[in-house]
Structure 1
Amino acid sequence: MRVQHSHNATDAAGGLTFGPVLSKLSSFKTTSKKTLLPTIDFASLELATNKFSVINILGEGGFSHVYKATFNREVFAAVKKLDGGGQDCEREFANEIDLLGRVRHPNIVPLLGYCVHGETRLLVYELMQNGSLETQLHGPSHGSALTWHLRMKIALDIARGLEYLHEHCNPPVIHRDLKSSNVLLDSDFNAKISDFGLAVLSRNHNKGNLKLSGTLGYVAPEYLLDGKLTEKSDVYAFGVVLLELLMGRKPVEKLESSQCQSIVTWAMPQLTDRSKVPNIVDPVIRDTMDLKHLYQVAAVAVLCVQQEPSYRPLITDVLHSLIPLVPVELGGMLRVIQPMLTTNQE
């Protein structure tokens, strides 16, 4: 891959002038198929992350670490540093640049720039202040910051991002690794899909030439067993994330017998019995929602995680079923009637 150095990305002293880059990118719309992203010099990223200090690590993957970066003491970003991954690392790096360099959507994490330094590859993203959905749900706070309405808003945001990839990109994009750790939340809990390293263009792959990839618990059965990959594979993964939001449970949990059980296997018999649904809801949000809305979300989740892909809905259908459940002020169509407050007046 040939990297063109962008002189606009750095100032004369070798430090990054990030403000102009951010403002330029926020209004940028590409009309060409070529990726138009600024390259950022390695020294600037070293400085911004305090030489990739351990205290700045936000998360880590198979062959990557993500660091918080501070530019000019006021602009923050997340820097993903990939090294030691060989061809797989190179492929995912190129994939992210190719796809995210052309994609602009409120529910997809913006890629701000990239850097090639020897064998090291770096990607610079907008920083999501509330971290990943996985950390919010399964970390120390155990979902306490996420109300019922916030969870429904997050589900709607993810559906909007997927609908853009499936219906508005040409050719359609299959994310292939949708999971709660790849859903990031900004300061207002707007959800954005991240990590496009495994994404593929629909109809641009064959059963034989695609390495089976994904995360245990989220991978659709037809892809796992037969290598069959379609947009419905993303819908299955969305269903698993929806179950996480609903129940606060991890996608795969260990049993006492050292075996594992998927959230889908555990939940399905209970999701299809209305009398049991309220009992499996995350205790943090239990009894805080309209039961009709709860049953509707349970029904959507059940459809999304059907074993047979043809029984799963299109993400557009999922989107339209969620919009009425999300308050207007959070991007939906639900008008929440606040209870009357009574005060004792002298």
Structure 2
Amino acid sequence: MGIFAFVLLSSSLLPFFFVLSYAADSIKKSESLSESITLVSKHESYALGFFRPGNSSNRYLGIWYNNIPVRTVVWVANRLNPINDSSGMLMVNSSGSLVLLSQNRTVAWSANSTKQALNPIVQLLDSGNLVLREENEEDPENYLWQSFDYPSDTWLPGMKLGWDLRTGLERRLTAWKSPDDPSPGELSVGIELHNYPEIVMNKGTEKFFRIGPWNGLSLSGLPDLLKENPVYTYDFVINSDEVYFIYNLIKNSVISRALLNETSSLYERYIWVSEDKKWSLYFSMPKDKCEGYNLCGPYGNCIIGDSPICQCVEGFKHKSPDTWNPDEWSKGCVRITQLSCKDKDKIGFAKFVGLKMPDTTYSWVNGSMNLNECRVKCLNNCSCTAYANSNITDGGSGCAMWFGDLIDIRQVTANGRDAYMQNVYIRMPASEEVNHKEEKDKQKMKVIVIVVVAIAVVFGVLLIPYCISKRANFREKMENNVMIDQNIEGQSEDMEVPFFTLATIVIATNNFSSYNKLGEGGFGLVYKGTLIDGKEIAVKRLSRKSGQGLSEFKNEVILIAKLQHRNLVRLLGYCIEGDEKMLIYEYMPNGSLDSFIFDETKAKVLGWSMRFNIICGIARGLLYLHEDSRLRIIHRDLKASNILLDSKMNPKISDFGMARIFGGDQIEGNTNRVVGTYGYMAPEYAIDGLFSVKSDVFSFGILLLEIISGKKNRGSFHLDNTQNLVGHAWKLWQEDRPLELIDTCLKGSVIQSEILRCLHISFLCLQQHHNDRPNMSCVVMMLHGESSLPKPKELGFFVGKKSTSSSENQSSSTNEITITMLEAR
């Protein structure tokens, strides 16, 4: 960035410079900037001056935001040559160069401008750019030197990341070594120049993360750029003079910056939240394991969600199939059938959609060729292993070809915008069975049509009596009011909540940005969103691979629409479009209960009075579900993660996807589909499929113990041979040592009689036989009463282990994972 020379400046020149004594945005040839003053840009957006980072005693010249209370440095001049005292001085010397002087007037840093200025002026712009220019230059952007050409760890709006091909200048981000040391760390990011340029993050000299080449709409490995966002716009420029990536903010009122973080090895984007007076993380990269460079080796396709995550591209097999483990993944895959260059008729190309383009180090690009010409050229070159359109705008144009093994491939998605993804065509034997091969699809079309027609006829004949039977059963169920399971279109008028369009939700959640992600439940992700009117919402987006289908979705919509209670989360609406099924809830700013009671730091926020209020609120919510609502509802998945906390820490029961409705005087039911969470299930439900309001009472008893102890029921206790929290608590109770169970952070805030009463109530709720457990109306009375309580009988200690006498599909789970289990009965 600068030239670090140690040249003594003649003391005779010093009288010709005077130090600024006022805040200005520029210095001229006769002026200098010392430790006592800062430059402030015209509209006071940025400041330039001397600072000391973290706990360091070293001094640096830097630029930081001037209009926010947290000093955030965005550029450092003398990163490699700190000043160890307060003698620093910035000035324009007699030759028109910008120099930073340290003790004994040695040059600690200088701006290496290519031209000498006659009447130089150094100015700090409102973009955060420090520039050196001629004072009377007609073109105000004709800079002799600018700090934007020499970025530190921060990428600001309007700053180019990339190359000036005319001068060979590379603009590259480099992380600070630590918060106390702004000298260049190992982590850096820039554009790798070759035939098909792409953005690459390095750790030292090794590639760490490759974002992929520009395809005309987005970066190949970052389809999130396809999403519209309210923060910034971007552009990727490739011409004979420059190759660079740039972004600009949409609104001037928004303050956003991107930077490299050496500590976390991440590229991070932040937005300043003035209300909270802090930087808020907008998104970061790499975001998952698949973004690690070449994790799966040649022809390996990294797929998040698969096990293992490293799979082979179709037409290839693991190089070491017998020992395919993380240590072997980098060996990659080899062809199932070897290729021969002699007979072109036996060579074809398989089309793959949704892949990040392979590493472009060994690639070739021609912007004027069409895709068919590209195919022919690749086919005629035995070394060509794949080809693609280099630009997918306006239907696709240009030719990109790869030579040698294809590496650093991963599966990416565009969230319904696959039409905007690049297709890559990989060289294959013409006889190879590959799902995406267009040529074979055409050849098989006639056969497929004949087979489909034949199957449809046979299936139709068999289906008619089955449908008649199912229709009769369906009518009977509806008449008994046992299950809500009718067509979603037919019941839309009974939903009692608004329908939201997918477009509305996409805008509200910033296209399901990772920055908006609140958490992950058993059936999908939950995102925070903000509607156009400013109302905050929580969006539960059901995963397409989840066990919850349309029936559970309808169940949850209809149930919650009919429920109105201060201790139940409020449903604001729903969305069904294509494969998307979403529930829109009121936003709970404090998240779920489990994030507090099981976290050593956050648990301190919940004193006993607040925990007791949460216990009573949950009890009131359950009482409403069981007895006071117009429907009798069994939740069946009551647990700490399904208790949400509002801004005042009031509890609200959420997630009714597993809930069941009882009609008339029905008080219990039986199922061959056991759903819920191990660690919270009542024994009779987990073992025999028998559920009732007492199943929820048992789960409430578990919750009581967890709130009192700050421990999870499962996985927390292995001492004294107890299997779970219930066993441990019961042992302490029998040994007259119940206070030892109490969360240590509650000491000093506990009302002993109250907490012992709650503990006693929990044991009554956890009794083995469901008829012995109190109903929720009794529980609420016991919580607020002072009368003596009955002695609890034997407790239910079910923890997820089951008899295998019947042919069962068994499953186990952690305390937090919702399970669905089908049993033969």
The alignment's TM-score, normalised by the length of structure 1, stands at 0.80
Mapped to 1, the partners of 2:703 and 2:566 lie a distance apart of 19
Instruction: Give, in angstroms, the shift of residue 268 of structure 1.
Output: 1.1
Residues 75-224 of structure 1: matches in 2 within 5 Å?
Answer: 75-85=535-545, 88-139=548-599, 141-202=601-662, 203=666, 206-207=669-670, 209-224=671-686
Secondary structure of the residue aligned to 2:616 is: helix
Mapped to 2, the partners of 1:246 and 1:97 lie a distance apart of 33
Of 119-128 and 89-98, the range deviating more from structure 2: 89-98
Instruction: Give, in angstroms, the shift of residue 62 of structure 1.
Output: 2.7
Instruction: Give, in angstroms, the shift of residue 5 of structure 1.
Output: 12
Q: Which residue of 2 aligns with 1:338?
A: none
Q: Which residue of 2 aligns with 1:56?
A: 516
Of 305-314 and 175-184, the range deviating more from structure 2: 305-314
Q: Which residue of 2 aligns with 1:301?
A: 762
Q: Which amino acid aligns with 1:220?
A: A
Larger relative contact order (Cα-Cα within 8 Å, sequence gap ≥ 6): 1
Mapped to 2, the partners of 1:44 and 1:205 lie a distance apart of 41
CA contact (8 A) 1:243 1:263 kept: yes
2:712 is equivalent to residue 245 of structure 1: no
CA contact (8 A) 2:488 2:554 kept: no
CA 296–169 in structure 1, closer or farther in 2 if over 3 Å, else same = same
CA contact (8 A) 2:593 2:641 kept: yes
Secondary structure of the residue aligned to 1:161 is: helix
Instruction: Give, in angstroms, the shift of residue 55 of structure 1.
Output: 1.3
Mapped to 2, the partners of 1:77 and 1:272 lie a distance apart of 46
CA 254–270 in structure 1, closer or farther in 2 if over 3 Å, else same = closer
Instruction: Give, in angstroms, the shift of residue 81 of structure 1.
Output: 0.4
Q: Which amino acid aligns with 1:304?
A: C
CA contact (8 A) 1:63 1:83 kept: yes
CA contact (8 A) 1:91 1:197 kept: no
Secondary structure of the residue aligned to 1:59 is: strand
| Residues 87-135 of structure 1: per-residue CA shift (max 9 Å, x gap) | 7332221111110011111100000000011111010000011110011
Mapped to 2, the partners of 1:56 and 1:50 lie a distance apart of 8
Question: Hey, which bits of structure 1, 4+ residues long, moved more than 4 A?
Answer: 3-6, 254-257
Q: Which residue of 1 aligns with 2:731?
A: 269
Instruction: Give, in angstroms, the shift of residue 35 of structure 1.
Output: 2.4
Instruction: Give, in angstroms, the shift of residue 170 of structure 1.
Output: 3.8
CA 130–86 in structure 1, closer or farther in 2 if over 3 Å, else same = closer
2:694 is equivalent to residue 232 of structure 1: yes
2:520 is equivalent to residue 39 of structure 1: no
Q: Which amino acid aligns with 2:573?
A: G
Instruction: Give, in angstroms, the shift of residue 226 of structure 1.
Output: 1.4
Secondary structure of the residue aligned to 2:574 is: strand
Instruction: Give, in angstroms, the shift of residue 260 of structure 1.
Output: 9.0
Q: Which amino acid aligns with 1:235?
A: V
Mapped to 2, the partners of 1:5 and 1:199 lie a distance apart of 19
CA contact (8 A) 1:304 1:313 kept: yes
CA contact (8 A) 2:717 2:724 kept: no
| Residues 183-226 of structure 1: per-residue CA shift (max 9 Å, x gap) | 0000001100000000001339742x441011010000111111
CA contact (8 A) 1:3 1:116 kept: no
Q: Which amino acid aligns with 2:648?
A: D
CA 251–175 in structure 1, closer or farther in 2 if over 3 Å, else same = same
2:531 is equivalent to residue 71 of structure 1: yes
Mapped to 2, the partners of 1:92 and 1:302 lie a distance apart of 32
Q: Cα RMSD (Å) of the superposition? A: 2.4
CA contact (8 A) 2:497 2:561 kept: yes
Q: Which amino acid aligns with 2:678?
A: L
Instruction: Give, in angstroms, the shift of residue 308 of structure 1.
Output: 1.3
Gaps of 5+ in 2: 1-486, 787-825
Mapped to 2, the partners of 1:255 and 1:137 lie a distance apart of 16
Q: Which residue of 2 aligns with 1:323?
A: 784
Match of 1:311 among 765, 769, 772: 772
Mapped to 2, the partners of 1:267 and 1:148 lie a distance apart of 18
Secondary structure of the residue aligned to 2:760 is: helix
CA 272–149 in structure 1, closer or farther in 2 if over 3 Å, else same = farther
| Residues 275-313 of structure 1: per-residue CA shift (max 9 Å, x gap) | x11111000103422222222111101111111111111
The structure where helix makes up a greater share of residues is 1
| Residues 45-89 of structure 1: per-residue CA shift (max 9 Å, x gap) | 001111101111111123310000012373111000013146733
Of 144-153 and 73-82, the range deviating more from structure 2: 73-82
Mapped to 2, the partners of 1:40 and 1:291 lie a distance apart of 49
Instruction: Give, in angstroms, the shift of residue 156 of structure 1.
Output: 0.3
Identity of aligned residues (%): 38
CA 195–40 in structure 1, closer or farther in 2 if over 3 Å, else same = same
Count the aligned residue pairs. Answer: 296
Mapped to 2, the partners of 1:128 and 1:61 lie a distance apart of 15
Q: Which amino acid aligns with 2:750?
A: M
Secondary structure of the residue aligned to 1:195 is: coil
CA contact (8 A) 2:573 2:585 kept: yes
Q: Which residue of 1 aligns with 2:746?
A: 285
CA 148–72 in structure 1, closer or farther in 2 if over 3 Å, else same = same
| Residues 250-281 of structure 1: per-residue CA shift (max 9 Å, x gap) | 12115679x9932112211113444x111110
Q: Which residue of 2 aligns with 1:344?
A: none
The structure where strand makes up a greater share of residues is 2
Q: Which amino acid aligns with 2:572?
A: L
Mapped to 2, the partners of 1:141 and 1:318 lie a distance apart of 30
Mapped to 2, the partners of 1:94 and 1:231 lie a distance apart of 22
CA 212–295 in structure 1, closer or farther in 2 if over 3 Å, else same = same
Mapped to 1, the partners of 2:717 and 2:612 lie a distance apart of 29
CA 227–288 in structure 1, closer or farther in 2 if over 3 Å, else same = same
Instruction: Give, in angstroms, the shift of residue 321 of structure 1.
Output: 1.6
CA 77–140 in structure 1, closer or farther in 2 if over 3 Å, else same = farther
CA 299–220 in structure 1, closer or farther in 2 if over 3 Å, else same = same
Secondary structure of the residue aligned to 1:95 is: helix
Mapped to 2, the partners of 1:288 and 1:162 lie a distance apart of 27
